[in-house]
Amino acid sequence: MSDLTPAERQFLTFALDLAADHMANRGDEFTDEDDAALARLRQLTEEPQAAPCFAGLLPLGSKAVELCMTKGPHQMHRSASGESWPVEDAEE
């Protein structure tokens, strides 16, 4: 979701925890809008999730497609059964 480094993510999490504690101790001074802003900022601290691969392999004589289970950038696809095949360059 964000391009924060792990150190930046850790520091922001610490700062948001302090802000949440402060808000909890002085709850009547903060609005629902403040709570929503804190929640939106917390989303920045979430670890980015690698995109799934949607490639599939149809082994000769098989009726079932074996889907790639690898997430994020990779040079070889790998199915749940251990089959592997190369990633074809989209520019070729």
φ, ψ of residue 66 to 5 degrees: the values are -95, 120
Q: What is the pTM of this model?
A: 0.51
**HSE, side-chain direction, 13 A CA sphere, residue 14:** 6
Res 39: pLDDT: 92
pLDDT tens-place string over residues 30-63: 998 999 999 999 988 887 777 778 787 776 777 6
Q: Where are the domains of the chain?
A: 6-43, 50-87
- pLDDT at position 90 is 47
Query: What long-range pairs does 52-56 form, CB within 8 A, spacing at least 24?
Result: 53/77, 55/87
What pLDDT score was predicted for residue 12?
Answer: 93
Q: How far apart are CA 42 and CA 16, in angstroms?
A: 7
pLDDT for residue 51: 74
